[in-house]
Structure 1
Amino acid sequence: MSAEIEVYLLGWDAASFNGGAKTAFARVYMAVHSLWSAQRSAQMCSEREAALVAEGTPRLDPGHRADAINAVVSAAMFIEGFVNELFSDAADKPHGTPRTRGLSDTAREQMRELWKGGAVPSDRISVIHKYQLALLCAGKRTFDPGCAPLQDVTTLIQLRNYLIHYNSESPNTVDLQKVFIGVMQRAGENRQPVGPPLFPNKVLGAGCANWACDTAARFVIEWQERLGLEHDYRSELESYPVEFRFNV
């Protein structure tokens, strides 16, 4: 006898896995936790930056920078994790789940075929392409690559990729300079009186951290609405703490 238990990260009780079953498989949804983690880091970054600006110090603060990086990476994790979770539910649950309600049988079947038997393995499909493919499966309008919100998401993912695959020489490339300038135009720059280089000193700050969170949240909200999903990730996010109190 086996059982599968759906687990949201918050409030997980390990004892619930027993349940009398000889074998239990946990279906754990972590995407929303990634967004909360990003928002938490962004608030910490904002509080720390405000304190540093009040001090008037040009000193670079490792914690401030770490919070900005964490916000960017976690926001991108939310974007990627959320679409993967929906495709996985469609692929593994032929009759649907509460999270796939709103999708037609045809849409779920097409998503299942793409996820399990497509010409390109699912882990080789870009995250943006996954969002577009889901909309195509549902017969919905896809995002315009040259406009918001997809344009902002593309910039966010480029910044995340650079942080993950860091190379000390690459900030000098023309393409990455364009990414950095694009981030600052959208998010603003680190408000501390710090000098060059542009990256990371001016790019990574509270503005960037909050922009990353807002970009990820707005994009997924619009995608949910276009798909016609009944499940809204914000109903999960509401179960997380909304106030963070830290000493800066």
Structure 2
Amino acid sequence: MVPEDADELADTHTDAAGASGGAVVTGSAEVEVYLLGWDAVSFNGGGAKGAFARVYMAVHSLWSAKRSAQMCSEREDALVVEGTARLDPAHRADAINAVVSAVMFLEGFVNELFSDAADKPHGTPRTRGLSQTAREQMRELWKGGAVPSDRISVIHKYQLALLCAGKRSFDPGCSPLQDVAALIQLRNYLIHYNSESPNTVDLQRVFIGVMQRAGENRQSVGPPLFPNKVLGAGCASWACDTAARFVIEWQDRLGLEHDYRSELEAYPVDCRFNV
């Protein structure tokens, strides 16, 4: 949990303190606290007359994706040792969860930064490293742009943030953007699934592209290509790695002081992952 610095907001007094895992707010002042996905806040001394919490969930989505990928890998190893060709529902579910959660992380992380820039003119701990001009341009795009923010694609949000900051955008024809585009296409297909579309030429190209990047299900299962060979431990791990590497490079290009990996490393659970 990161309480907001009092000198960063002219209109809000902050009287909050605590470590990751929660905060205790005392007194009757108006307060605002920043909470991660697992944080909780409690109010002592009669509470505060105005309490505002900004909750950041993007990194929780990445943790969820990594957990599913790990479980998928362990299950696939066991199935290969067994030598069974049967399809395992839990194995497939973990692969799907990893893909969907990885894209949730991608969209949530960029949305959180734009939202902070739009809502907090004086900045937040998440926007440190961005110039005032960059924050103002991001605010205008998020709140007053000609295109509603919920109609802007995930990839375009990342590119627009770089342009607002005067930084070099990603080359659409190269990695890591090509990998992210393939991941998002696969996630969109899973979310908007219909039983006929796997046979289209465009989607077959997506599936083959994913397997070329990620590898295929190591079980000795037969066709169809999707979902039997596409959805496996390789795909699940690739989804996590693709999302994580892309955001690392993006936040480095922006010059952000906040690094999402510090949150992932501090996750208050026994299950840990390489970040």
Task: Answer whether contact 1:9 1:33 (CA < 8 A) is retained.
Answer: no
Q: Are residues 202 and 241 of structure 1, via their aligned partners in 2, closer, same or farther at CA, if it must alter by over 3 Å? A: farther
Q: C-alpha distance in 1, partners of 2:171/2:32? A: 34
Sequence identity (%): 91
Task: Answer whether contact 1:31 1:81 (CA < 8 A) is retained.
Answer: yes
| SS in structure 1 at match of 2:209 | helix
Deviations 1:21-71 (A, max 9, x none): 244232110000000000000000000000000000001000000000000
The answer to which of 47-56 and 238-247 deviates more is: 238-247
The answer to which of 236-245 and 138-147 deviates more is: 236-245
Q: C-alpha distance in 2, partners of 1:206/1:148? A: 21
Deviation at 1:169, TM superposition (A): 0.3
Q: Are residues 238 and 247 of structure 1, via their aligned partners in 2, closer, same or farther at CA, if it must alter by over 3 Å? A: closer
Displacement over 4 Å in runs of 4+: 2-15, 245-248
Q: What are the equivalent positions in structure 2 for 1:1-248 lying under 5 Å apart?
A: 12=38, 14-16=40-42, 20-240=47-267, 244=271
Q: C-alpha distance in 2, partners of 1:7/1:69? A: 34
Task: Answer whether contact 1:171 1:199 (CA < 8 A) is retained.
Answer: yes
The answer to which of 21-30 and 105-114 deviates more is: 21-30
Task: Answer whether contact 1:44 1:246 (CA < 8 A) is retained.
Answer: no
Task: Answer whether contact 1:41 1:209 (CA < 8 A) is retained.
Answer: yes
| SS in structure 2 at match of 1:247 | coil
Task: Answer whether contact 1:100 1:231 (CA < 8 A) is retained.
Answer: yes
| SS in structure 1 at match of 2:121 | coil
Deviation at 1:244, TM superposition (A): 3.8
Task: Answer whether contact 2:36 2:55 (CA < 8 A) is retained.
Answer: no
Q: C-alpha distance in 2, partners of 1:160/1:224? A: 23
Deviations 1:192-248 (A, max 9, x none): 000000000000000000000000000000000000001000000011267649999
Deviations 1:171-212 (A, max 9, x none): 000000000000000000000000000000000000000000
| SS in structure 2 at match of 1:59 | coil
Which blocks of at least 5 consecutive residues in structure 2 are unaligned? 1-27
Q: C-alpha distance in 1, partners of 2:156/2:273? A: 38
Q: C-alpha distance in 1, partners of 2:29/2:194? A: 45
Task: Answer whether contact 1:6 1:28 (CA < 8 A) is retained.
Answer: no
| SS in structure 2 at match of 1:189 | coil
Deviation at 1:7, TM superposition (A): 6.2
Deviations 1:81-140 (A, max 9, x none): 000000000001101111101100000000000001000010010010000000000000
Deviation at 1:4, TM superposition (A): 7.5
Task: Answer whether contact 2:31 2:50 (CA < 8 A) is retained.
Answer: no
Q: Are residues 52 and 90 of structure 1, via their aligned partners in 2, closer, same or farther at CA, if it must alter by over 3 Å? A: same
TM-score (ref. length: structure 2): 0.84
Deviations 1:124-163 (A, max 9, x none): 1001000000000000000001100000000000000000
| SS in structure 2 at match of 1:102 | coil
| SS in structure 2 at match of 1:16 | strand
| Structure whose CA Rg is larger | 2
Q: C-alpha distance in 1, partners of 2:274/2:252? A: 38
Q: Are residues 241 and 209 of structure 1, via their aligned partners in 2, closer, same or farther at CA, if it must alter by over 3 Å? A: farther
Q: Are residues 197 and 138 of structure 1, via their aligned partners in 2, closer, same or farther at CA, if it must alter by over 3 Å? A: same
Deviation at 1:16, TM superposition (A): 1.8
Q: Are residues 180 and 110 of structure 1, via their aligned partners in 2, closer, same or farther at CA, if it must alter by over 3 Å? A: same
Q: Are residues 6 and 58 of structure 1, via their aligned partners in 2, closer, same or farther at CA, if it must alter by over 3 Å? A: farther
Number of paired residues?
247
Task: Answer whether contact 1:78 1:216 (CA < 8 A) is retained.
Answer: yes
| SS in structure 1 at match of 2:42 | helix
Task: Answer whether contact 2:121 2:136 (CA < 8 A) is retained.
Answer: yes
